[in-house]
Amino acid sequence: MSTLGFLSDKLDREQTVLQELNEALLGLQAEAVGRASDLGYDKKALAAFRARLAEFITLLQREIEDGERENGSLSPIVARLKENRAKPLGDWKEDLAQLQAALQTDAPLPDDLAGVLEGLIDILDVQLTKDFSRLYSR
Amino acid sequence: MSHYRLAKAGELGALLQWLKRELHAVRAGGCEHVVLVERLEAVLADAERELAKIEIIFQTEIPALLRRVDVIATRLENELLIASNFYVGGLQRQTAADREMRQILLAMAKRLRLDWIEDFLVRLSRPLAIYSMYHRLASIPVFFGPPHLLESIMELPGIYHELGHSVFSQNDEIGRRLAAVVKAHFDGIGRSIGPLPQEQRDARDREIDTALQYWNRERLSEMFCDVFASYVCGSANIISMMDLGMRGSLDPCEILLSDEHPPNAARVFAAHCALDAPAQNQPLLQLIYSEWLAYEKQFNKDRRYKIFCAADLLRRLTVEMVHSLSAVLPDVPRYLKPLPSLADALGVAAPIALEDLVSAGVVVLFEAPAQFAAWQRNARTLVR
């Protein structure tokens, strides 16, 4: 029985989410060091990046609180946050709330909150790499 | 600056240029898949822009931005490898059999009103499978099948299962509805538990949570594809699935957390549930299904199966799948024809839809197996 059908769908969803979040974070990090225009990001693009990240945080908060599943794309993050012994779930919730508040302003994203986003994106990156390796295991 | 990052970007650039040259050669060779080639060229143009962005980030030498490059490079590599392995590789090696199957699939997609499908890239070189979604492109799946696919009957309903993946990928609403059914079912079980000592309650909660996690999007999609195949192909799909389940004496009730497919007992049950009552009551189907049930009884349904794959849950899921199909895709025709008589099955003639031919084929296989080989030779000429 093939796993290709669902795997292609899963990979594509994971790739899309990862690409959107990574580019949004890149844009805000570039803005924070005054290099956004070098990468072609104007104010409108940066506002869209903030909105995309805020939407992601909202979905993540909802999934952590209510167990709602957004087509499974956030499940790896929720699972990792719940099993993380070094940082209790309550601390993550606080970080997410701070991130959400910071994304509602036009101020540059502080490094510590950018770091939280980096951690979340890393989880998605690892999950995608694991899933992708199932296509080409050797 | 990391040497690995620079090397990776260099290799991706070379791979991108090779893919562009190959697509150009495919196009110049008079390829039938013009729309696909155009879409792939657009994907490569996006990739080229991303590579240019990487170059700019390299020049900044800012560590936080360089870390974003790693993620971009991983994604680009994934996309280019899929373009190469699944798409360009197929475009370079189209055979006469691939082209024939493509026409059959296009006619099928039209008949089943899968309106988002624009084309298929077919490769009859491996067992049944579909690459259904690439770069948000669900309209041109890569379809894989064994070289003998059109010479068989039992395997043919598997085509509808594979098309089901495209249906599921294309319609997010279906996945959401099914996830809600699973959550409601296990929430209900959680609420119905009476007073228990704390330790037992915790263990029970963990069990329910594991069951809830078991029904992830992947397993729901596999079961949906089974139900979709029953919906559009009818009784023949059940027989095909029983054949799949009885091969090699596998335990059809074993839950494997490492396998994204639900156990065969649950899949056959759901596919059977998806038939309407007249179809379920057909004597031939009853006879064959009772053989399946007898096979299944040789194996124990353990506690885990009874919780994860409770008949009540499977029934609710199947009802929702059928309901979702009629609600979300009302034009997709449900196959409600009864299995033909043996005389009608033996007398099949053109023009005939593949679903009708498969139904006739299973009747001949089970009621007159000695005549099947001769029937198959004639039937093969009718497949369009």
Give A138's pLDDT tier (boundaries 50, 70, 90): very low
CA proximity to B378, closest of B364, B252, B255: B364
Note whether B144 and B123 are within 8 A (CB).
yes
Contacts of A19 in chain B (CB under 8 A): 75
Chain A residues touching residue B81 (CB < 8 angstroms)? 136
Q: ipTM score here?
A: 0.89
pLDDT higher at B270 or A88: B270
pLDDT for residue A66: 73
Taking CB atoms and an 8 Å limit, are B221 and A9 in contact across chains?
Answer: yes
Domains of chain A plus CATH, in order, are: 4-133 (1.20.120)
Output the pLDDT for position B238: 94
pLDDT tens digits, one per residue of B253-284:
999 988 889 999 999 999 999 999 999 999 99
Collapsed DSSP state (helix, strand, coil) of residue B121? strand
Q: Is a pLDDT exceeding 90 seen at residue A87?
A: no
Distance from CA of A124 to the nearest CA of B (A): 10
Mean pLDDT, range B199-208, rounded to an integer: 88
Question: Residue A35 and residue B62: Cβ atoms within 8 Å?
Answer: yes
Categorize the per-residue pLDDT at A134 as very low, low, confident or very high, splitting at 50, 70 and 90: confident
Lowest-pLDDT choice from A30-44, B214-228, B236-250, B364-378: B236-250
Task: Answer whether A25's CB lies under 8 Å from A36's CB.
Answer: no
Measured between alpha carbons, how far is B142 from B121 in angstroms, rounded to an integer?
Answer: 5
Question: Chain A residues with CB inside 8 Å of B65's CB?
Answer: 26, 29-30, 33, 35
Cβ atoms within 10 A of the Cβ of B4, count? Answer: 10
Question: Is B64 close to A33, i.e. CB distance below 8 A?
Answer: yes
Mean pLDDT of A93-99: 95
Residues 6+ positions from B368 with CB-CB distance below 8 Å? B342, B346, B375
Q: Is the pLDDT of residue B247 over 70?
A: yes
End-to-end CA distance of chain B: 58
What are A's interface residues with B at a Cβ cutoff of 8 A? 1-12, 15-16, 18-19, 22-23, 25-26, 29-30, 33, 35, 38-39, 67, 69, 71-72, 75, 111, 114, 118, 121, 125, 128-129, 132, 135-136
Cβ atoms of B143 and B120 closer than 8 Å? yes
- Global pTM? 0.91
Best residue of B75, B84, B86 to probe chain A, by most A CBs closer than 10 Å: B75
pLDDT one-digit tens code per residue, A14-62:
899 999 999 999 999 999 999 999 999 999 999 999 999 999 999 999 8
Q: Which of A11, A111, A125 shows the shortest C-beta gap to B71?
A: A125
Chains A & B: contacts with CB separation below 8 Å: 117
Task: Please determine, for residue A129, whether its predicted confidence score (pLDDT) is greater than 60.
Answer: yes
pLDDT of residue A135: 82
Side-chain-facing half-sphere of B278: CA atoms under 13 Å: 6
C-alpha to C-alpha distance for B270 and B313, rounded to whole angstroms: 10
Q: Is the pLDDT of residue B76 over 60?
A: yes
CA torsion sign for B221, B225, B227, B232 is positive
The structure tokens listed for B233 are: 């192909």
Check whether B1 has a pLDDT greater than 80: no
A2 vs B75: CB contact, 8 Å cut-off? no
Q: Where are the domains of chain B?
A: 3-93, 95-152, 166-328, 340-384
Read off the tokens for B183: 């959550």
d(CA B240, CA B152): 11
Distance CA B320, CA B317 (A): 5
Helix, strand and coil content of chain B, in percent to the nearest 5, comes to 70, 5, 25
- Residue A81: exposure state from Cβ atoms within 10 A (0-12, 13-18, ≥19): buried
